[in-house]
Every structure is written in structure tokens, then in C-alpha cells.
Structure 1
Amino acid sequence: MIQPRSELVTGRAETGRRRGRGRIRPVWFVAALAVVMLAGVAFTGWWFSQGRYTKVPDLVNKPVTVARQVAQQAGFEVRVGEARFDDKVPKDIVLDTDPGAGAEVVKGSVLTLIPSAGPQLITVPIVEKLSLTDARAKIADAGLTPGRVSKSASDTIPRDQVIRTNPPVGKRVKKGSTVNFVVSAGLLMPDVTQMMRDQAEKFLREKGFNVQIDETTDDAPPGTVIAQDPPGGAEVVAGATVHLTASRGPDQGFHWPWEVNPADPGQSPPAVVNVPDVRFKAIKDAVNELKAAGFNVKTRRLVGTDRVVGENPLGQQPPGTTITLWH
């Protein structure tokens, strides 16, 4: 049967539309797939260029506990490395990091904190009773700096040997610190001039010296040591002989200012008071006691103790007299 022309045309149009729709679908699918692929490539590029990486924060000069917390919050695995000595940065403060601040690393990387151990401390070695040359060498070998030298009398440490150091032996100090020396000057003759002869003789004999005493006329009060040989401060040996010269008083006719002059019987005798005997008391207490009694006080170092070993004058003296104390 022959189809009418109108139906034939209609059928052909319908078939064309179906074929057109079939061609459009693959085009949109390919376009969408391309978009997805481009996005994937872009994300992959971003991930490998930036997304996987992070910068190491600047943690230098922060306490280790704080630096650890900051690094962990930034996604790092944190380790604490071996501490290093540093003269300026206190202990447990971050000196450096590995990797260093600003480095780009993969997220989750290990970040090592290098803390400060503070300044390196060295114990002052034992150098007492060594010669100055050996003591200097030992101090230098320990990483310290030999410093100034002063001398002090000693009847127990031989001359030119170290008595003590400053800082003292056993003290922990910074590496490179200066250590000063006190070296024995050996036995030095004590200066006992102006002491009463009995006090001076007793003191010197207790120190092991042989004492010889001569007397001479002098304006100094009777019994006062006016000279000695060897003089005070001279280097001597144990058992040395000391010659003392003591005053036997002035010639006849001499009158002390506070004595009544027989040629002037109308003269009123001046007021005198007893001088407190402060021997063997603490020097500070002795000075206060004499001043409270109305006397002036002068102190002289003899053996370097805090106790009075000599006093002159004693007895009765006018108020305001200067009393000398040896300690």
C-alpha cells in the first residue's frame, strides 16, 4: 500500500530528530568529563605545589614548652634535640629548629627543637698550696681565665704558694670566668709598735718568735713599744728573734698635760676616767664601749681577727684620749 506523501514526510522528520538527539548527548558528556578532568588536574597541581606543604614557624627565643605547643598545633611532629650551651640565652629557651624557620616542608613532618642549656658552668679546681705557676696552668686547663694576684701573710702556707682563690675552690662559674689568686707572702713580722710591752711580748711569743726587749728614755708612756727590729711587714722565718725597744718614760721634770705641776700648787687636777679593758672582746663591741666611755678609738690590723689582742693606753686617762686597739 502506498503511504500518503504527508505521512512519509512526517516520518522522515521524526527520524531526523531522534538522530539529532543521539548526537547531542555524547557532546555534553565529553564536555562534562573534560571539566572534571581539568578540575582534578588543577587540584592535583595545587596539592603538590601548596596543599601538602606548610612553612616552619619561627620558634626561636620561645620557651620549649610553648614552642612545642605551637608546632603541634601547626601539624608538626615535634622532637626535642640535644641542648647546646649558650652564654646569652637562658636554659630551656629555643636556640634553633631543624628545619629552620620559614622552610617549606610536608605537613606532618618532624620538627626538631634545639634548646639552650644555658651558660656552661665549670667548677673552680683545687689549686690551694700549689705554686702560682702551676695554679695558673690548672685554672687555664679547666677553661677559666687566671686573674690578679695579691699576697697575704701566712704562718701555715709556704711563701709563693696559693692560699685561696676568688671565686673560691668548688664554686661553679661560667666558662671563661676570671679567677683571682691570694698567694702566701710567708711569715711577716707583725707591727707591735705603740703596744704595751707585756702585750706585745705575749703576742709575739705565742706566734713563735724569740723576743728581746731594751728600754730607753722617751716621752711615750712607760712600757710602750717605740721601735722593733725586724720592722712590721718584713718577711721573716718561724722562730726569728725580734728586738723591741720600750719606753721607760720621760726624764725627771716632765709632766703629762693632765698632771698637776708642782710649781703651780693652785692648779686644779684635770678630770680622768678609767679606760675600759676591752682586750679579747669583739672589735665592734670594744669600739662601741670605749666611745660610750668618752674616748676616741683607732684600730690597727695585726692578725686580722675580729677580737682585740692589744689595747693602749690603759688605766686612767682624760676623756677624749685616743685609745688604740689591735685586732
Structure 2
Amino acid sequence: MASEKTKKIWMTIGIGLGIIFITAFLTSQIIFPLIFRTPKNVEVPNVVGLSLPMAKLRLTQLGLHIVVRDSVWSETGQPNTILDQDPQPGKKIKPESTVYVKVNRGPMKVGVPYLVGLNYSDAYYTLKSAGLEAVIADSLYSDNYPRNTIVRSSPPQGTKVEKGAKVRLYISKGPKPFIEETVIWDSLLM
């Protein structure tokens, strides 16, 4: 008799739990969406070829997030543009989902800019903005270039080098000082 009673208790508990699970499922999948109007899935737009800020704007307007998964050197296309995306355009995803993108870092090699005649600070910032590093190699006397201007660079203008490469700068000391020989002889005789 005790086992009959135990079976009834367990059966009642099982049926009760089943009813609770079915009610929870129906509530979460049918009733709540009807009451709270959960948004429908969003179609992923094509952001390949767009700049990173434009892609971010387009995706956030649709309620999606963007994460840069990778950035690669590329000789084609504009720097800071989207090369690939996941999920692909046209796929339906839930709002607040994430779209992963691959961004173009630009070309790995850049041309050494024209530096001759620039003062050192202008040459330094020109190289820095090109992704290159300035190194003073030597200073030379020059009748053609004023003091603290670039006489030449190595590698020369237009040479393709990897980003981050060092460009050696040769800076003018100005014209070579003129010393009269008589002044030297006079000073030696005294």
C-alpha cells in the first residue's frame, strides 16, 4: 500500500513538472512575444567596401553590433575599409547580434615621400604620417640648403619600403664657414 501511495505521489510530481515546463515554454515562445512584441530577425546588410565608421553606422541603425575580427595588409582598396564580413549579407539574424568584419590596413609598402628642402620637423611629421620612422644619419655643409633642412634621404624619394621602416636623413649645417688664412696666421703669430 505504501508503494502505491509513493507511485501516486511521484506521478503527481511528474505531471505537475510537465505542466510547469509546457506552460513556461508556451509563455516564453507565444505569449510573451505577443504581449511584448519582440522584434523579428534582421537581414544583414552588405558592408564590404564601406569604411569602418560607415559600416558601424549602418549596422547600429539596424540594432546590430560590429566587431573587427582581423585586419590585414592589402595592396588593393582603400585603407580602413571592410574586406569581408560574417555572417554574409542577406542572412537573417536576431537583433543585438554581432557582425564580425575583416578590415583593410592598407598597403604594406609605402613610397618614401619627397623630403629634400623640408626643415627637420616637417620631414619628421611627413614620415610619421606615412608610417615611417625618421633617423638623422649625418649633417653636411651645404650652400644650397639652409641650416636644419633635409639635403637628402636614404632610401630616396619614391622608393617603396615596408611601413615602419627607418629613413635616414642628411641635414644641412648651412654653408661651410669661410675662414681667412691671414686671420689664422695672425693668431698663430701672437
Higher relative contact order (CA 8 A, sep 6+): 2
TM-score normalized with structure 2 length: 0.39
TM-score normalized with structure 1 length: 0.24
